[in-house]
Amino acid sequence: MNMIAIDIGNTAIKIGLFVEDSERFIRTIQENQEDAIQRLGDVLVEAWDQIPVGKDSRETRRDGWIVASSVQDSWTEKMEQICRDRLGEKILLIGRDVPLPIEMGVDHPSAVGTDRVLNAAAAFAVIEDACIVADFGTAVTIDLVDENGVFLGGVIAPGFAMGAGALHTGTSKLPLIEVTVPTDPIGANTEAAMNSGLFYSAVGLLRIITEKYAEQLGRWPQTVVTGGASKLLKDNCDFIDSWVDNLAVRGVVLAYKKYLDDQTEMADRDQQEQEQVPNKTTKSFPPLN
């Protein structure tokens, strides 16, 4: 299968190219860059040009799809416009054109960010058992999938940059910092103290939530982390089982594959049902004397 998988997040957009089910590349573009639209268009053109032309296509149409997950309506519209203008193609959107790939056990499934759902579905597809999926991005989300593959929900908290920004804007003297792995948990100056506070708040949150989820399940599930800031945590939390970069992009691929499989299964079932229906004979009235 050939496709461009797009993850439109709160601060960045990731574009992945998959040709014959093989990952060619995944690129990240920050939404606040001045040339973001131009760069996104260039990456999409580069990716689309690598998708082969359909064997039976008289119009040399490429045999691939563009599928996206988005938590930003404004950027969804921009990406759809870029694809129309630069590629002459449309985007299939998870949750609108493509169903969610996992059973939802929450109050309002449509209100859950598709990035969270795709992360969970991609992790469960590999683990095939209960798992915790933590995404450390603009926000921190820590979600639980049960042993039956049902997305149960989770927690949402501020990410590193958001927390650092809140400390800076909400006080008169605290500087704006970029969180790094602390060399010492005890901050000997203001910047170090802020850094330790933000970093270990995330570590502590993940640890306590993991314990709470384990108590609810009655056993320890596997814990998977992803997201830009997860690189800081993956080597500093001994209870993390796996670190997977760009998990949501891979979830987009999984969601579309499942959608195609479901469509094929429905078509096969309809065909079988039609074949099982006995032929109806038409009765005619005897001629009138």
d(C-alpha 5, C-alpha 247), whole Å: 11
* 238 counts as catalytic: no
d(C-alpha 28, C-alpha 12), whole Å: 7
- Catalytic position from the list 35, 85, 115, 235: 115
List all residues 6 or more positions away from 186 whose beta carbon is below 8 Å from its beta carbon: 196
d(C-alpha 187, C-alpha 184), whole Å: 7
- Answer yes or no: are the C-beta atoms of 133 and 140 closer than 8 Å: no
**In sequence order, what are the beta bridge partners of 222?**
131
Got the DSSP string for 129-180?
S-EEEEEESSEEEEEEE-TTSEEEEEEEEE-HHHHHHHHHHTSSSPPP----
Say how many residues make up the chain.
Answer: 289
Residue 276 half-sphere exposure, CB side, CA atoms within 13 Å? 6
- Answer yes or no: are the C-beta atoms of 97 and 259 closer than 8 Å: no
Catalytic residues: 115
